[in-house]
Structures are given as structure tokens and as C-alpha cells.
Amino acid sequence: MALREIIILPDKQLRLISKPVAEVTTEIRKLADDMFESMYDAPGIGLAAIQVAEPVRLITMDLVRKEGNGKSEPRAFINPEIISASDEMNVYEEGCLSIPEYYADVERPARVRIRFTDLDGNVKEEDADGLFATCIQHEIDHLNGVLFIDHLSMLKRRMVVKKFEKAAKHGIKYV
């Protein structure tokens, strides 16, 4: 396993549309391992491969692990798709490892049904609600070059982008 650098706004790679994974290879499994290590180190509860500059449709997630609770439930989602979504919406204060120290309320469907391939190559379907629904939608957005700030008003989005463009210009690194 290796720690990978998480890219930060305004890195243009965050706007790429990630490519489908054709086969679950050793390289994909190694990338997933690196993503888990980088996600836990951040710390975060989800991570999309594009956030470590790998434009492939791979997500890692662990909604269980908390500092010191000794539990974890690492999950990987390859080529995830939302196949249905509830009309009922849910608001969650979201953050993003690629937009550090900025949080905002985002409204998303409260429940989604997803189809994905796991690291053993099995195609699965699963219902998600609560934080799982929010997180998987946030991560699938990343695979499509969409950031949670894109769900905010243009004014708020422009303010955030301007702040991170200014920080990048002055070489301010978020650690």
C-alpha cells in the first residue's frame, strides 16, 4: 500500500470524466489499496480515484471506521451506476477532501439503488440510504467531474473557486 497525494481544487483533473474499468486487474486492486490508505490517512469516509489523479471509475468507502473504535468496513465500488433514486430528498452538510475546510448543505435523493462491480469481479445491486446514499452520490459525482459545490448557488460556487484559485496562485498548500 502507498499513500497517494489527494489533488485539490482548482486542479483541472477534478473535472475529467473517469473511464470505465474494463477488468479487475492486479493494478486496479493495488490502486484500491492505495486509495484506502490515502482515505484513512486524510481522514475521509469516501474517495474517488480521480482524487488521487487516476481517472478510472473506482470508489473506496468506509462508513464504519472511526478513530480508535477498532472497527472498519472497507468497501470498493467499480463502475458504479445509480439505477434509481427516490423522489424524497435529504440535506446533508458535505465536505470534500479535494476542497478542504469548506462545508455546505447539499440536497440529494434520500435513497438510491446502485449497480457496481466489486473487487472480486462480481456485479451487484444494492439499496443505499442515509450517509451511504449521500456518500455514494458524492463519489459518483467525482467520477463524472462534478463537485459538491456544483450543487450550490453560482455565487457560492464562484466564491469557493476564487478562494482556492487565489490560494493556489500564492502556493498555499493544504496539509
Helix (H, G, I), strand (E, B) or coil at 143: helix
Q: How many residues bind ligand K2U (CB under 6 A)?
A: 16
Interface with Zn ion, residue 6, by CB under 5 A: no
Question: Residue 157: how many CB atoms within 10 A of its CB?
Answer: 16
- CA gap 35, 33 in Å, rounded: 5
Using CB positions, name the residue nearest to ligand K2U.
44
Interface with ligand K2U, residue 135, by CB under 6 A: yes
- CA gap 110, 125 in Å, rounded: 17
Query: Looking up cell 480508535, which residue turns up?
Result: 68
Which residues are the active-site residues? 139
Among 4, 57, 108, 138, binds ligand K2U (CB under 6 A): 138
Q: Which does 135 bind (CB under 5 to 8 A by kind): Zn ion, ligand K2U, none?
A: ligand K2U
C-alpha dihedral sign at 101, 3, 114, 55: positive
- CA gap 156, 5 in Å, rounded: 27
- Residue 167 sits at φ, ψ, to 5 deg, of -65, -40
Cβ at position 127, least distance to ligand K2U in Å: 18
- Binding to ligand K2U (CB under 6 A) within 15-74 occurs at 44-48
Query: Looking up cell 483541472, which residue turns up?
Result: 12
Residue 96 or 140: the one with the smaller Cβ distance to Zn ion is: 96
Cβ at position 69, least distance to ligand K2U in Å: 15
Spell out where 32-96 has E strands: 46-48, 58-61, 75-85, 89-94
- Residue 172 sits at φ, ψ, to 5 deg, of -80, 120
Residues 141-160 as x/- pattern, contact with ligand K2U by CB under 6 A: -x------------------
Cβ at position 95, least distance to ligand K2U in Å: 4
Residue 75 or 142: the one with the smaller Cβ distance to ligand K2U is: 142
Could you list the residues that contact ligand K2U (CB under 6 A)? 44-48, 92, 94-98, 134-135, 138-139, 142
Could you list the residues that contact Zn ion (CB under 5 A)? 96
